[in-house]
Amino acid sequence: MLLAPYRPLKGKIVLQEKKNKKFYQSMLAGGGLSEVFDKDNSSFANEYTQLKSLLSENEYSMARASTLNAHYTSPIVIKAIYDAIDRMGFTRGNILEPSCGIGSFFGMLPDSMQNSNLYGIELDSITGRIAKQLYPPNAHISINGFEKTELPDSFLTLLLEMYPLVTTS
C-alpha cells in the first residue's frame, strides 16, 4: 500500500534494517501527492483515511503543507550537479542542503567528497527524521525553519539546492 512506509514514523523512527533504509532513500518527495490530502477526492479515499490514522495532527498538517514545496530531484540531476562541482575542484568542506527532505543529495555524495561535513535543514518533521536516520554520522540535520537555524558566519563551503521549476495556479 502507498502509505505503509509511514507506519514506523509514529513516534521514534528506526531505519536500521537495510531494506528499510534502501526504501526510504528511494522515496520521492511528497509534492506529487496532494490528492491524498483531499478528503473529498474519492479516488484517494483509502489513502486519505490511512494517512489520517498514521500521522499525528501536527505531522499531517506539516505533510499537507509541504505538498506545495516538497519536490523530487532526480538522481540524473543530482549527479550532474555533483559533476559540475567536481570539475570546479571541490573535494571537502561544510556542505549545506537547505530544505533537504530525506537528503537525496547526501545519499548521492560522490566518493571524492565523502570527507565533507553535511548539514541539512528540513521543516517537515517526517522527512527530517528520516534524513537523520539515513545519513549519520557526518550529517547534521536540523528539523526547523531555515530562518530559525543558526550556522556560524563564513562556515559553509558549499550549498546544494535544486529549486523547483513548477507553475502553480
pLDDT at 166: 56
Rounded to an integer, the average pLDDT of 13-36 is 56
- What rounded mean pLDDT belongs to the chain? 78
What residues does each domain of the chain span?
A: 17-68, 75-159
CA distance 101 to 106: 10
The CATH class for the domain spanning 75-159 reads: alpha beta
pLDDT value for 94:
95
**pLDDT value of residue 57:** 86
What pLDDT is attached to residue 129?
A: 83
Ordered alpha helix ranges (H), 55-136:
57-65, 75-87, 104-107, 125-134
Which 3 state secondary structure label does DSSP give 99? coil
Which pLDDT value is given to residue 68? 66
Phi then psi dihedrals of residue 144, to 5 deg: -170, 165
- In this model, does residue 147 exceed pLDDT 60? yes
Per mean pLDDT, which of 59-68, 70-79, 117-126 is the most reliable? 117-126
Least confident window among 67-81, 121-135, 140-154: 67-81
| Tens-place pLDDT, residues 46-59 | 888 887 887 788 87
Cα torsion through 157, 133, 137, 155, rounded to 10 = 20
Give the per-residue pLDDT at 106. Answer: 92
pLDDT score of 38: 84
Whether pLDDT at 3 is above 50: no
Q: Measured between alpha carbons, how far is 157 from 72 in angstroms, rounded to an integer?
A: 24
